[in-house]
């Protein structure tokens, strides 16, 4: 490969990119050469991983839950175990010193919570070790047992569930604003402190009634049942007042510590509580049968108090909101009422009220006048009115108008008469002309020349054929100066048959 | 009918009812004014209830004779 200097890159060339790629390639090649000179030994690799793990803060103090699948205490006093769940497992060790603090030795099958850190053990020449990690356990807390108790828990759960004790339909809502809250717990426990602190913060106005009870140990179940019965009792209702909601619970602990809340009598008493009830047993992860039987399960006593004690600030805010809405609604209503009033006010009867009364007022005047008249009390005024009307009538007299009309009528009359006469003359002339023409056409004019007309007196028709008359029939003969009444002697038609003689 | 609320809850639910009635805007003016005044009284009542910050904690037990024992909680809160 050709040697080049940095100067080559200072001058831009047409193939700068190509040169740059070559340069990068060379750098990579040199790097590869260098890295191949460093090779981990196995120990070094494991050591490197050790460092990574021990530097990680999460892995240096954590809780892990699992089932003990192996538990072995060596002669050295150290315990070695394997923790597993459905799909995975991890090994661990608990040193002798830590083991001494364990209250109870874990057994295979126990569900435990382990607190510890992760480490990668170093091997030695005699005992070479693989690059595996293990838990260095500091505490092991038993969570549940596959033993008798766990079995009892499951059996009781199934039994009570079948009875419907845990049904969703049985759950009652909690009152939004309880006046009196009952708490069933130990007077000495942290749970009570937590709940009272929350109540203080949220709404100290609420009354809290504590029904102390043992929450742990053999006597706890009966104590809890007694407290539940007391809280629900008529005596308490009369002496203290109605308890609006109950909280039953205690702080966190082992499965055994919480066991009282799994006892059948306690669970049944919780389910039977007349007062709505919140369970608050242990921590988030702890479940007891009391939780199933209560109306509401709170994850912790603190959460229960937050659930039950109304938040004064929240209520104040809500009240403020309601007050605002109330005022807005009122303002809106008033505005619309004002608007309607304004629209009404704009109507004529209000803007010009006299118009409403004008007619009536006039009528009133008239009636008053009539009244006056009737009582003859105001004749003078009436007379005055009359005079006034008379004067106005005279002023408006139509005499002159009539005269004018009469004159005009006279003129029309003359013109009409002349026109009528002219029209009449014209008609007469026309008539004479027509009469002369008519005369010339008249059959009577023909009669003047010696002809005669034969008419059937019965029908008044002119007889035009000899056959229309019969012998002995009477006929009329019209002549110019008169008429004859004749009897037919004989009928003779032109072809000679039955010719008649007149 | 208007009546004096016994509890805070009752007052708030009546107040909500009133606000909804007023917001529907279909009531006669007289009724509106009457409800508005009732609403104002309810708000005052509720605020009074909330202002009541007296701490009242009782401990209730039964003694050996089965009688109710009531005493005040003396413990201090952290």
Question: Which residues on chain B place their C-beta less than 8 Å from a C-beta of chain A?
Answer: 7-9, 12, 15-16, 18-19, 22-23, 25, 27, 29, 32-33, 36, 39-40, 43, 46-47, 49-62, 68, 70, 73, 75, 77-78
State yes or no: pLDDT of A501 exceeds 50. no
Please compute the mean of the pLDDT values over residues A176-181 and round it to a whole number. 84
Contact of A195 with chain B, judged by CB distance below 8 Å, is answered with: no
Provide, as residue numbers in chain A, all residues whose Cβ is less than 8 Å from the Cβ of B68. Answer: 235-236, 239
The predicted structure's pLDDT at residue A15: 61
Name the more confident of A384 and A221.
Answer: A221
User: Which domains occur in chain A, in start order?
Assistant: 44-143 (2.40.50.140), 150-310 (3.40.50.261), 442-502 (no CATH)
Residue A227's nearest CA partner among A215, A241, A239 is A215
CA-nearest of A114, A119, A149, A144 to A131 is: A119
Model pLDDT, residue A356: 62
pLDDT value at position A195?
A: 92
The percentage of chain A sitting over the pLDDT mark of 90, rounded to a whole number, equals 26
pLDDT value of residue A37: 64
Which residues in chain A have Cβ-Cβ distances shorter than 8 Å to B32?
Answer: 330, 333
Using the predicted structure, report yes or no on whether residue A361 has a pLDDT greater than 70. no
pLDDT of residue A172 exceeding 90, the answer is: yes
B4: left (phi over 0), alpha (psi -120 to 50) or beta: beta
CA distance A237 to A226: 16
At residue A454, φ and ψ (nearest 5 deg) are -105, 130
Reported confidence tier of residue A83, pLDDT bands at 50, 70, 90: very high
CA angle in degrees (0–180, nearest 5) for A213-A142-A278: 35
- Whether A395 has a pLDDT exceeding 80, the answer reads no
Q: Is the pLDDT of residue A31 over 80?
A: no
What is the per-residue pLDDT for A148?
A: 62
Alpha helices in A215-352 (DSSP H): 220-231, 234-239, 264-272, 289-293, 301-308, 312-345, 348-351
The pLDDT score that the predictor gives to residue A294 is 95
């Amino acid at each position: 490969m050709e040697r080049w200097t940095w100067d080559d890159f200072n001058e831009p060339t047409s193939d700068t990119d190509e040169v740059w790629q070559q340069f990068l390639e060379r750098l990579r090649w040199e790097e590869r050469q260098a890295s191949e000179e460093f090779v981990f030994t196995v120990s070094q690799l494991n050591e490197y991983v050790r460092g990574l793990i021990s530097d990680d803060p999460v892995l240096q103090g954590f809780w892990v839950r699992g089932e003990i699948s192996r538990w072995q205490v060596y002669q050295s006093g150290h315990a070695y175990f394997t923790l597993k769940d459905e799909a995975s497992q991890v090994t661990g060790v608990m040193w002798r010193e830590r083991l001494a603090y364990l209250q109870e030795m874990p057994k295979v099958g126990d569900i435990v919570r382990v607190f510890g850190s992760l480490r990668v053990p170093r091997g030695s020449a005699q005992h070479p070790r693989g690059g595996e990690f293990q838990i260095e356990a500091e505490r092991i807390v038993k969570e549940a047992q596959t033993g008798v108790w766990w079995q009892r828990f499951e059996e009781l759960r199934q039994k009570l569930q079948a009875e419907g004790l845990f049904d969703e339909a049985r759950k009652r809502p909690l009152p939004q604003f309880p006046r009196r809250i009952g708490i069933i717990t130990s007077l000495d426990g942290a749970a009570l402190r937590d709940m009272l602190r929350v109540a203080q913060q949220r709404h100290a106005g609420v009354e809290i009634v504590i029904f102390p009870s043992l929450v742990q140990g053999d006597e706890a179940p009966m104590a809890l049942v007694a407290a539940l019965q007391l809280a629900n009792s008529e005596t308490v209702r009369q002496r203290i007042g109605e308890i609006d909601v109950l909280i039953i619970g205690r702080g966190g602990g082992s499965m055994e510590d919480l066991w009282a809340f799994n006892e059948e009598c306690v669970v049944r008493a919780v389910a039977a509580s007349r007062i709505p009830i919140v369970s608050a047993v242990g921590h988030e992860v702890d479940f007891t049968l009391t939780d199933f039987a209560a109306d509401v399960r709170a994850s912790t006593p603190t959460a229960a108090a937050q659930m039950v004690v109304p938040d004064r600030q929240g209520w104040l805010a809500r009240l403020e909101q309601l007050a605002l809405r109330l005022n807005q609604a009122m303002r809106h209503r008033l505005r619309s009422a004002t608007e309607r009033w304004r629209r009404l006010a704009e109507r004529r009867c209000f803007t010009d009220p006299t118009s409403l009364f004008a007619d009536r007022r006039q009528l009133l005047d008239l009636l008053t006048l009539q009244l006056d008249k009737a009582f003859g009390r105001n004749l003078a005024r009436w007379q005055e009115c009359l005079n006034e009307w008379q004067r106005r009538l005279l002023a408006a007299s139509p005499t002159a108008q009539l005269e004018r009309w009469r004159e005009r009528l006279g003129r029309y009359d003359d013109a009409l008469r002349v026109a009528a006469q002219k029209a009449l003359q014209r008609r007469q002339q026309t008539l004479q002309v027509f009469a002369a023409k008519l005369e010339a056409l008249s059959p009577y004019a023909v009669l003047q020349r010696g002809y005669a007309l034969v008419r059937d007196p019965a029908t008044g028709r002119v007889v035009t054929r000899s056959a229309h008359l019969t012998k002995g029939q009477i006929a009329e003969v019209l002549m110019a100066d008169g008429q004859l009444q004749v009897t037919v002697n004989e009928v003779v038609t032109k072809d000679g048959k039955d010719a008649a003689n007149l | 009918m208007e009546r004096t609320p016994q509890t805070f809850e009752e007052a708030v639910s009546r107040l909500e009812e009133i606000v909804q009635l007023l917001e529907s805007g279909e009531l006669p003016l007289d009724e509106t004014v009457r409800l508005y005044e009732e609403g104002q009284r309810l708000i005052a009542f509720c605020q009074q209830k909330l202002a009541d910050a007296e701490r009242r904690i009782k401990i209730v037990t039964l003694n050996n004779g089965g009688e109710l024992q009531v005493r005040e909680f003396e413990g201090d809160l952290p």
